Structure 1
């Protein structure tokens, strides 16, 4: 009897996980509104990242929350980054760049550490974990965050862009030479929905070696 109950519970759990995975979709910042996650909810959402695969337990990624008090500084970094890329950027374009920092109720920056400081005593031990493995780990951590946010009823999106690699943004976030900004994660309550996109069929991305 206990085995049957356990199997039934596992089946239900698998169905729930499948539903969460397959109903998640990107909800862009312009479709998000208040309220965003509370402090307790955010802790649970970001805490899901801890379950990501992490070779040698290096914790090669981190998240930086951008509170309301720092949005103006982020907007200015976006504008400066645009000016560095395009000296002819118009005041309207600069204003649009600044405005991007204020769109989502909650904003995080995902950062990955591609290498470790050679002065670190553990650097030799961690040197055999190459950058691509660290980025994969960070990607898994980000996906866990997105799925947990969705499971808790929030919309979320990843956004990137050329400003991520700019000096103004790197300076604002205090990124070390070993770190790379991967993407912003926006979260909030979905105020405008969109039709779900068509998912690829399994046959489009699964093959069998030798066939």
Structure 2
């Protein structure tokens, strides 16, 4: 006869919705949120996340708010083998914006493609058949997805940063990543090992950004 204890399902340790979490969970969430900081790509190096860690980082995005469950965002991984193509795009986009760009400036633009072990492009779909969900709500959803990934990377011990720039809206970049007419490149997500830390910046207090509507 089987031992009932050996066949019992693991207990669900997650409290029901609306119930308080254990203090240690709250403390961990507080620590992750308030110790996370932006680490620029030039301060990130190898090793990057392994396959399992990267999957956990990407999976964290799925818990972002998503009104109507449209999944209005996606992420495109830029592997090492594609960095040369991205470097070419950065250089081309710079020359298209500024025909007087110097060789040094072009080289600097190209170099940005090789920073950070894990590099993703965040893309948001601004419009589709569901006209009720406005572009700004879709962008907020994408931002939540990105923050979830940054927090998961931070929990794993990695640093991360978001980078943007004028190249994001350039025709060469849109062509490289195969963006549709209704899609917009939001930013690059950079994740890797922190090779040079920086002081934690002073955070604003809630009173600086919260007000109460008069009754």
Tell me by how many angstroms 1:106 deviates.
1.0
Q: Which residue of 2 aligns with 1:3?
A: none
Q: Which residue of 2 aligns with 1:66?
A: 78
Match of 2:197 among 193, 206, 210: 193
Structure 2: distance between partners of 1:17 and 1:96: 38
Structure 2: distance between partners of 1:170 and 1:106: 20
Structure 1: distance between partners of 2:21 and 2:79: 40
Structure 1: distance between partners of 2:147 and 2:125: 18
Does 2:57 match 1:53?
no
Match of 2:154 among 150, 156, 159: 150
From the CA coordinates, give the structure whose radius of gyration is larger.
Answer: 2
Task: Provide the aligned length of Structure 1 versus Structure 2.
Answer: 198
Structure 1: distance between partners of 2:171 and 2:30: 41
Match of 1:170 among 150, 169, 174: 174
- Give the root-mean-square deviation of aligned CA atoms: 1.3
Structure 1: distance between partners of 2:55 and 2:48: 13
Structure 2: distance between partners of 1:93 and 1:33: 23
Q: Which residue of 1 aligns with 2:135?
A: 131
Structure 1: distance between partners of 2:41 and 2:147: 17
Q: Which residue of 2 aligns with 1:96?
A: 108
Tell me which stretches of 4 or more aligned residues in structure 1 moved more than 3 Å.
Answer: 6-9
Structure 1: distance between partners of 2:36 and 2:142: 19
Match of 1:20 among 29, 32, 35: 32
Normalising by structure 2, report the TM-score.
Answer: 0.90
Tell me by how many angstroms 1:92 deviates.
1.1
Structure 1: distance between partners of 2:60 and 2:67: 17
Does 2:47 match 1:35?
yes
Tell me by how many angstroms 1:9 deviates.
5.7
Normalising by structure 1, report the TM-score.
Answer: 0.91
Q: Which residue of 1 aligns with 2:93?
A: 81
Write the deviation string for residues 33-72 of structure 1: whole angstroms up to 9, x where unpaired: 1000011111100100000000000000000000000000
Write the deviation string for residues 113-168 of structure 1: whole angstroms up to 9, x where unpaired: 0011xxxxxx1xx1110100000000000000101100110000000000000001
- For structure 2, the 5+ residue unaligned runs are 1-14
Q: Which residue of 2 aligns with 1:108?
A: 120
Structure 2: distance between partners of 1:102 and 1:207: 43
